[in-house]
Structure 1
Amino acid sequence: MQIHLNGIKLNYHEEGSGPAIVMLHAFPLAGAMWHTQVALLREQYRVIVPDLRGFGGSEAPPGPYLMDTMADDVAALLTQLGIAQSAVIGLSMGGYIAFSLWRRHRQLLSALVLADTRAAPDNTEGQAAREANARLVEEAGPPAIATKMIPNLVAPSASQALRDELSRLIHANSSQGIAGALRGMALRPDSRPDLGSINIPTLVIVGTEDSLTPPAEAEAMHHALPNSTLVQIEGAGHLSNLEQPTAFNSALQSFFAA
């Protein structure tokens, strides 16, 4: 389904009924990365899965895409759908957007799942790497980013079938969308000062083999969050929901049933 909001065309998928859950995908993928979780959660929940601006079937305007702007997109979508409050699941970039949602639209949030993400901003080196990748995709296209990033997105033991799936998702995005998100992530603020104020139930998930946002980052967030649970998923890298879906889904089930 598509909807016009905040000056762009946003694509989203919706299944099920009950309390709302919105799922925010990782960079540089799309909402389709949540297919296994949607199949589980739609039995009891109204699941909303947007393609964030610049990705999947959504429009890719000129960037940068600030995390606040993407959070405003999500808030506008929930408002358009008549959803007063929703749980939010964000993985990696989706987690950055979840932090912005808390700062800007916390009345919309009933619970949080922060998966394979971090509260700290990019340092100077990280910002430079984002800009280098933005220029790479502008010059060589999404396949170049896929080739560069996929080895770091998953654990070494990840199957070739999963790597091929990630390639398809990345290749389907536009260079402008990928570059816009890269430059927006480089500009994101430090969310660590906000952690102590996040008093809603929060689940922190991390793959034990996540090299991009390692378990130490998740542990630090967990200790700073006043109402959080930490789950480490064995054998998963940065995309724990795709690499170990059974363990990831089990963590979600336990959290939402509590």
Structure 2
Amino acid sequence: MPHAITPDGVKLYYEEAGSGTPILFVHEYCGDWRAWEPQMRFFSRRHRCITYSFRGYPGSDVPPNGDMNGQQHAVDDALHMLDHLKIPKAHIVGLSQGAFATAHFGRCYADRTLSLTLAGVGSGAGLEGHEQFKRDAVTTAALIRKDGMAKYAESLTTNPTRSRFRLKDPRGFDEFTKHLSEHPVVGAANTMENYQGKRPSLYDFEEEWKTLDLPTLIVCGDEDDPCLQPSLYLKQVLPNAGLAMFAKTGHAVNLEEPDAFNRELWNFIVLAEAGQWMPRHPATKDAGLI
């Protein structure tokens, strides 16, 4: 089994396929390396694709110390994956928790980044409700420790941001929740408490976002309510960002609408590599009624 070893001694499980310009896929809280399978199959036809599990997730080491599961660890682990595979630069594609890590990867390591894709980004990141989100994460971590991952995975069947996925693709949703139920309890609880429960708001970094001119694609389902406003916010502050909104779609957009997601991401990467993903023209920002 292939592993990359981080400087603090954590083994990260990964898989790769294909050859060409690299794409690193960074999964969400409820996912793992398997959550990017529709993208690995599609993009590995022309790209070198890498998917991996965060520390604390299936295949990777589970640090017993919760302080080793913070957001910056996730950001730096993406860098360690590139270093291990001797990749100078890559397209970084993240969903939800992975999109937070991806955004901050671009902020911290722009010189290692070809482009950023931020899908389902922003839950709990707004100025209003951010502190409550962090308190809720600590409470959820305690419930995971008490009741286990199967109970937590079952709770997603009634989660509003996941319900459309369950209705559209019951078989795919069952596989998704089965994979989630297999996550190590210690890793899931530590990540919920120390990543979700301690991460700063995206809005705290506005001045840095304004100077981050990397090609950026933001993807959001229109029924992923917690991510709608943060996605619009990032579109407004990131100078070279585009926003794709998918109708009647929830949070796990890459699994719920894999074909649409792949087409959107493919178009973005082609334009980014051709130098044709252009910043918005200043004259369009104050357009009035014609």
TM-score by length of 1: 0.94
Max radius of gyration: which structure? 2
Residues 229 and 69 of structure 1: CA distance in aligned 2, closer, same or farther (over 3 Å): same
Contact 2:95-2:121 at 8 Å conserved across structures = yes
Residue 26 (structure 1) shift: 0.7
Residue 73 (structure 1) shift: 1.2
Contact 1:222-1:228 at 8 Å conserved across structures = yes
Residues 190 and 125 of structure 1: CA distance in aligned 2, closer, same or farther (over 3 Å): closer
Contact 2:122-2:226 at 8 Å conserved across structures = no
1:167 is aligned to: 177
1:217 is aligned to: 230
Matches within 5 A, 1:1-258: 1-6=2-7, 7-62=9-64, 63-64=66-67, 65-118=69-122, 120=125, 123-152=130-159, 153-156=161-164, 157-183=167-193, 184-192=195-203, 193=206, 194-213=208-227, 215-258=228-271
Give SS of 1:118's match: coil
Amino acid at match of 2:177: S
**CA distance in 1 between partners of 2:200 and 2:107 (Å):** 11
- After superposition, what is the alpha-carbon deviation per residue over 1:80-101, rounded to whole angstroms, capped at 9, x for unaligned? 1110111100100001111221
- After superposition, what is the alpha-carbon deviation per residue over 1:189-225, rounded to whole angstroms, capped at 9, x for unaligned? 2333232122010000001111332x23211211111
**CA distance in 2 between partners of 1:136 and 1:160 (Å):** 26
Contact 1:28-1:55 at 8 Å conserved across structures = no
Contact 1:155-1:210 at 8 Å conserved across structures = no
Q: What is the root-mean-square deviation in Å for CA atoms of aligned residues?
A: 1.6
Residue 150 (structure 1) shift: 4.1
Amino acid at match of 1:226: P
- After superposition, what is the alpha-carbon deviation per residue over 1:18-54, rounded to whole angstroms, capped at 9, x for unaligned? 1111000011210111111111110111111111111
Give SS of 1:197's match: coil
Residue 102 (structure 1) shift: 2.3
Unaligned runs of 5+ in 1: none
Question: Percent identity, aligned pairs only?
Answer: 26
- After superposition, what is the alpha-carbon deviation per residue over 1:212-244, rounded to whole angstroms, capped at 9, x for unaligned? 32x232112111110011111122100011111
Contact 2:107-2:212 at 8 Å conserved across structures = no
2:286 is aligned to: none
Amino acid at match of 1:195: W
Residue 187 (structure 1) shift: 1.1
Amino acid at match of 1:203: L
**CA distance in 1 between partners of 2:190 and 2:168 (Å):** 28
**CA distance in 2 between partners of 1:188 and 1:253 (Å):** 30
- After superposition, what is the alpha-carbon deviation per residue over 1:165-193, rounded to whole angstroms, capped at 9, x for unaligned? 12111111111111111121221123332
Contact 2:24-2:50 at 8 Å conserved across structures = yes
**CA distance in 1 between partners of 2:134 and 2:156 (Å):** 16
Amino acid at match of 1:22: L
Contact 2:92-2:116 at 8 Å conserved across structures = yes
Amino acid at match of 1:106: A
Contact 1:12-1:51 at 8 Å conserved across structures = yes
